[in-house]
Amino acid sequence: MSTVDIDALIRELDAEREAIWFTVPEEVAALGRGEVPRGTGARGQYLSTLMFAEGEARTLADEMLWGLLQVAESDTADLGTLQAVIAEIIGYKADFFDFVGLPHAAALIHRYVAGACAVESLADLRRLTAAAISYANRLHMCVDAVYPWALGNAFPRKDRAAV
């Protein structure tokens, strides 16, 4: 029997998503201001840290959780294999969120990993992963909201005809 209350974890993920629906989480806003708890960043700057946070949030939602959900819905899905992948890859991503200054998000993703590794059915894994992807997508949108996209104007692409 699972020691993780999957329904409670799904409610927590849903509540976290709702809490950041219209309000950027403080840890994301702080990262956008250059406040990085672990001091991560090359040569005294935080742009690279913000770049990594954006990339990790995007790939967690758009690639990893989405892919896991697609596989979990297939006829050939194997619960044990999916749990091993989640423990290894999503657990690593959670650690990386902490590294780039998002410890609350990291802790929540670690709770998802623990829950996913404790489920006893693919149906529960799908329900839990659907809640996690919904949260992760919203987190990604929040990181995008503080990302200095205008910096790209300093790096105009060469005209294709000139290349």
Q: Is 145 helix (H, G, I), strand (E, B) or coil?
A: helix
**Residue 145 structural domain:** 6-32+45-149
Contact 150, 131 (CB under 8 A): no
| 40: in domain | no
pLDDT per residue of the chain (163 residues) written in tens, 0 to 9: 457 899 999 999 999 999 999 999 999 999 999 999 888 888 889 999 999 999 999 999 999 999 999 999 999 999 999 999 999 999 999 999 999 999 999 999 999 999 999 999 999 999 999 999 999 999 999 999 999 999 989 998 888 888 8
Read off the tokens for 71.
């596989």
Give every CB contact of residue 130 below 8 A, 6+ residues apart in sequence.
Answer: 69
- Check residue 1 and give its pLDDT: 40
Determine the length of the chain.
163
| 15: in domain | yes
b vs e for 38-55, b when ≥16 Cβ sit within 10 Å of the residue's Cβ? Answer: eebbeeeebeebbebbbe
- What is the number of structural domains in the chain? 1
Contact 82, 68 (CB under 8 A): yes
| 27: in domain | yes
